[in-house]
Structure 1
Amino acid sequence: MNMHWTDYLAPLMQGAWVTIQLTIISTLLGAVLAFAFGIGKLSPNRLIRAVSVGYIELFRGTSLLVQLFWIYFALPLAGEAFGLDLRIPPLTAGILALGLNIGAYGAEVVRGAIQAVHTGQYEAAQALNFTPRQRLWRIAIPQAIPEMMPSFGNLAVQNLKDTALVSLISLGDMTFRAEQIRNYTQDSTTVYTMLLLMYFGMALVLTAIMRLLEHSVGRWRGARG
């Protein structure tokens, strides 16, 4: 069927809104998980440390696509075996899979940044009778956050690109809409070129936002210094 490329914009923009929601919410979820399990991996408590290591290794060591399929397809079946209704809407499944995945990679960033804080800082805090909790939250983390930001920026952009996988569970994101248009019009070149440019534009905007955050955190560090 003959259609002008401008006719593709409306459905693609609808999909773009879903992609934006996925990216923002899953990235925020991933950031929370990254701090929780990154700090947990450094905990003196063996159980907390073991759980944190298990989570990180599981989600770093398996495919995001498989994780997505397991949450959306396998988890409800497992729940049925125990009489539980664990069916998850596609959007929620996509957010969970993306957030859990990026959180595992981010946890290693958090752990590495905290461990990179100079030992002299901890020794000075200990000399001032700071508790371990105070040393973590008042000394280590404020200095580690600026070091995390470039890596977090890369993870956020990667997360944006990974959202394309949710089209495989019939979630109407940008990639899913593009595939629908292509099937209807057989105009692969135009549709996928537009899709490519839209992802590229989103990545540029996200990169700019992350750099602004990085710059803001860097100035905050300088003010503290």
Structure 2
Amino acid sequence: MDFITDSLPLYINGALYTLLITVGGCALAFVIAMSVGILGTLRSRVARAVASIYVEVFRGVAALVLMFWMFYAMPLVTGYLLDPVFAAILALGLNVGAYGAENVRGAIKAVPAAQYEATIALNFTPAQRLRSVILPQAWAQMLPTFGNLIIELMKGSAVVSLIAVSDLTFVGDQVRAFTGQTLAAYTAALVMYFLLAQVFLYFMRMAERSANRRLGREPLKAKKSTPAVAGAGGAA
């Protein structure tokens, strides 16, 4: 009981750092994924080449090494030391954004060709096609993979403790070092990670249901029929 009361504030503080890095990394990854993913679907060879280079570079680089480079090596090049939290968000966002870009590109390409042809027949501009027809359908297909990427980013944020960010993993290490209770320290961290994951999954499921409902993919609940009144409509 003393372990819980003494260490709970530390774990809550660590969870807040983990949440901050996850949300910040997801926001950056989402912007990159949408921008690079759409670039990868354009007819321009230059645009597709830029998208392909970005995806191959950042998908092929370990997020941990990228974070170390930004925090330890970048100051040697630029003379500017990044805040550790910002370095973590940047590294995770750039890495996960590459995977998200492929998800976006694949979802857009999966929209039936007839939809493109219909927008052309209706004389839509490319921006109108994308905004009004293509993206709403592709969005529903992107969400399940985006949900997985969010959870992977949150779990990947555990490495930020290596650059002295006081996240959940860092707190677990500190509690174990000061109390000697290895089992309790890391079990508490596992539980906190699990709870955070459930929160993110809940919101992603809500977003998926909303997207599918807008596309008419979920049948509306049938209204309960009112029982007929006895004798009503009977033969005279």
The structure carrying a bigger helix percent of its residues is 1
TM-score in terms of structure 2 length: 0.87
Q: In structure 1, what is the equivalent of residue 222 of structure 2? A: none
Letter in 2 for 1:55: Y
- 1:1-225 residue pairs with structure 2 within 5 A? 4-79=3-78, 85-222=79-216
The answer to which of 46-55 and 174-183 deviates more is 46-55
Q: In structure 2, what is the equivalent of residue 82 of structure 1? A: none
Displacement of 1:134 after TM fit?
A: 2.2
For the Cα contact (< 8 Å) 2:32–2:94, is it kept in 1? yes
Q: Which runs of 5+ in 2 are unaligned?
A: 218-236
CA–CA distance in structure 1, aligned partners of residues 133 and 207 of structure 2: 20
CA–CA distance in structure 1, aligned partners of residues 111 and 118 of structure 2: 12
Q: Deviations over 1:184-224 (max 9, x none)?
A: 1221111001111111111111111110111112112229x
TM-score in terms of structure 1 length: 0.92
Residue 4 of structure 1 aligns to a residue whose secondary structure is: helix
For the Cα contact (< 8 Å) 1:5–1:190, is it kept in 2? no
Q: Which runs of 5+ in 1 are unaligned?
A: 80-84
Q: Which of these two proteins has the greater Rg computed from alpha carbons?
A: 2
For the Cα contact (< 8 Å) 2:41–2:108, is it kept in 1? no
Displacement of 1:41 after TM fit?
A: 1.2
CA–CA distance in structure 2, aligned partners of residues 150 and 55 of structure 1: 23
CA–CA distance in structure 2, aligned partners of residues 133 and 180 of structure 1: 52
Q: Deviations over 1:2-56 (max 9, x none)?
A: x623311111111111111111121111111100000111222333222211111
For the Cα contact (< 8 Å) 2:61–2:95, is it kept in 1? no
CA–CA distance in structure 1, aligned partners of residues 80 and 35 of structure 2: 25
Residue 215 of structure 2 aligns to a residue whose secondary structure is: helix
For the Cα contact (< 8 Å) 2:161–2:167, is it kept in 1? yes
CA–CA distance in structure 2, aligned partners of residues 25 and 92 of structure 1: 9
Q: Deviations over 1:89-110 (max 9, x none)?
A: 0010111111111111110110
CA–CA distance in structure 1, aligned partners of residues 52 and 183 of structure 2: 44
RMSD: 1.4
CA–CA distance in structure 2, aligned partners of residues 219 and 124 of structure 1: 22
Letter in 2 for 1:213: A
Displacement of 1:132 after TM fit?
A: 2.4
Looking at both structures, which has the greater relative contact order when contacts are Cα pairs under 8 Å and sequence separation is at least 6?
Answer: 1
**Superposed structure 1 runs of 4+ greater than 3 Å apart:** none
Displacement of 1:70 after TM fit?
A: 1.1
